[in-house]
Structure 1
């Protein structure tokens, strides 16, 4: 069984630990259905593999960008193979328009919570 644990994004490098006894195949980063770059796997003393991949800055823009880490048996510059194993995904959220959407959602949740509190108080009194 493959287990990938994301260690997060720091300085543009997404890292994680892959716990398995066998070395991984080709590890590729995919964005919007297109192969972006290869990830690097380094053997660790405990038998796991440290995975690291740089997130290309040219792929970042306003909105939500999803990067998917896949493993397959393809060659260097080939696109991802059908049936590639999805190890994990990384969502990056950026941009001011998105901030406004999030604020609106938080305001809506607050108002619904206030309504719920009023109803619970009304029910507790009766």
Structure 2
């Protein structure tokens, strides 16, 4: 089983998984299984998962939700929600900072090469 599609619409997370038999997934946030997950068969043999996202779980920062098989505990996939002011140590903010520093170093190196004629 693998999560093939994941999106959020109107406060509901939707996912598509391919599985031969009816799956028994669950969505976990901070070691708590979330209620309200529905599993519907699709005409193409896949399964649509739908979960209303509880408003009380949305905070500033990054929230990660893990989709796993309820029986085995195997991870099927995950989805992440970033809300409010991003955390200072958020990986995306770090990546943006690294890109800006790299651009600054490239400009300084080019200026050095132009000034020294190398």
How far residue 121 of structure 1 moved from its aligned partner, in angstroms, is 6.1
1:113 aligns with 2:112: no
- Unaligned runs of at least 5 residues, structure 1: 74-82
| RMSD, matched Cα | 2.6
SS at match of 1:45: coil
The alpha-carbon deviation at position 56 of structure 1 amounts to 0.7
* 8 Å Cα contact 2:2/2:77 also seen in 1: no
Change (3 A) 1:47 1:107: closer
TM-score by length of 1: 0.74
* Preserved contact between residue 41 and residue 49 of structure 1 (Cα < 8 Å): yes
Look up the SS of the partner of 1:37 in the other structure.
coil
Which consecutive residues of structure 2, in runs of 5 or more, have no partner in the other structure?
none
Pairing of 1:27-106 with structure 2 (within 5 A): 27-73=25-71, 83-96=72-85, 98=86, 105=94, 106=96
Deviations 1:54-90 (A, max 9, x none): 11111111111111112223xxxxxxxxx41211111
| Aligned residue pair count | 114
Q: Is the 8 A contact 1:7 1:16 kept in 2?
A: yes
